[in-house]
Amino acid sequence: MLASPAAFTWVPLLTGIVLVLLLKYNRGRSSLHRLPLPPGPKPLPLLGNALDIPTTYQWLTYAEWSKKYGDIVHANFFGTPLIILGSAKAAFDLFEKRSSMYSDRPLLHMLLLMGYGWSFVIMRYGTRWRRHRRMMHQYFNASQVENYKPHQLKEIRHLLGKLHEDPKSYLEHVRNSMGTLIIRVVYGIKDDSLVSLNQTAMEHVAETMNPGSFWVDIMPFLKHVPSWLPGAGFRRKANEWRKYGLAIRDRGLAAAKKAISQNDNNALQSIVADMLDRVSSLDPDLREEEEEISGNVAAVSYLAIAVISYSGKVISSISSFIMAMVHYPEIQEKAYAELMDVVGSGRLPEFSDRKSLPYVNAIVKESLRWQPVLPLSVAHTTTEDDEYEGYLIPKGSIVMANTWAILHDPEEYPDPERFFPDRFIKDGKLNPAVRDPSTASFGYGRRICPGRYFADNALFMTIVSILYTYTIRPPIGPDGKPILKDVKMTSGSLSFPFPFDCQFEPRSSAIPLIRD
């Protein structure tokens, strides 16, 4: 009797698992291998803890593991050590103090198949990564982002008008405004199709970023499986999504070059224009290489800031802020009172007001903490064996900080499920003794998000502007009572509030300012 096609599918799969495990077992070992591995759930033969790792809301399961096993937990994923850090101390001890060993990335083969090999967000740690990072830092360091504040202010005030004209589409307005802004800063153009491209790419990346989301990340030999083979749905997805991964890199750069050649003033003032000008005088061979890096960095600025730290983090944090205001109306009234004392009724808030608005700043911090957009940090991997707290962390381990658990630690943030900006206030000022959530929400060590200053400025200005101009209320049902949905977030490597309805009621004194 002939074997079924399904059987032929599983033969190479199981063979590959065995080969992977044998290679890992026979890898050269250091003297640290006498140490025990960190505690964790008991693994099964061959599969390890693959059946213990959930496919949704992993951070909640990992938080329970940390309660049971401690701040550093070990799991085995088809022979690959998975280390979960459940406390700020463990995350900073390893990612910050030992960054030379913990700054590499695991190879995310699904993202490579999707055409994102140009992105230094997933690039292996080394010289090529450092060159990309160095160039991006030139444009998004703390002092340089001051140059982008006028663009941020202009787009956010445009957003206020759109909220007034069509408040029911608030989330679409926020997404479009954030996407338009980053494209303007990076490429110097306005292109709604690029905004749409960004949103589609963000959905694909969110489904892919956590290691193990696709088996090909654990068993790379699967990337050679043809897409027509039963069980190779990941290849069909990768083939379909690849056109977006490559378009992210190519389309914006091509449009910017065209606008620059036409002497478009906005394009001439863009990051891309400055990058290309800097490399134009180099020798041809070096110029070609540097121009490639410039294009990659521009695309990463657009994707990494737009998807992970900007459109992802800012949009999710703004959505969480709006959701919190629906559930905690007393907070927005307290913030409005502070705004009236500092700003008054004759103008909209400016960036220069920020230092005088401690409570609004506390709301910004709480918006980052309450429902983090990246509940699990982007995975790191170890480049050599290490010892921590008496335990072995083997070379090649995937190491992830449970950012959700860190920002919901009841010892640092009492009553963590509550949206409570006052936790950051003492004697009317920001309390430096309370850990700033941005130290965890933007990543760790040398892999910290390069767009964090840009994102922080945008988040503050969006929140303060909405608080000044609108009262956010829940919708009213037929019985005349407010309709309040439970607070619920989506699963995935990027987490957003589930859609909810709300009302934006313009404050009477702000209506003329919105219309202007």
* First vs last C-alpha separation in the chain: 79
Contact 506, 164 (CB under 8 A): yes
Contact 401, 444 (CB under 8 A): yes
The DSSP letter of residue 404 is H
Other C-beta atoms lying within 10 Å of the C-beta of residue 45 = 6
Q: What CA–CA distance (Å, rounded) separates 294 from 301?
A: 10
Write down the residue that tokens 């980053």 correspond to: 182
Among 368, 351, 293, smallest CA distance to 147 is for 351
The DSSP letter of residue 48 is B
The DSSP letter of residue 199 is H
Contact 184, 190 (CB under 8 A): yes
Contact 86, 39 (CB under 8 A): no
Among 507, 472, 469, 462, smallest CA distance to 351 is for 462
Q: Are strands 470-473 and 503-506 parallel, antiparallel or unpaired?
A: antiparallel
502 is in an annotated binding site: no
Q: Are strands 398-401 and 80-85 parallel, antiparallel or unpaired?
A: parallel
Q: Please report the DSSP string for 504-516 in residue order.
A: EEE-GGGHHHHH-
As given in the structure block, the two tokens for residue 270 are 């863009």
Contact 70, 87 (CB under 8 A): no
Those residues whose C-beta lies under 8 Å from the C-beta of residue 501, and which sit 6 or more positions away, are 168, 474, 475, 483
Q: Which residues carry a binding-site annotation?
A: 449
Q: Which residues carry a binding-site annotation for heme?
A: 449
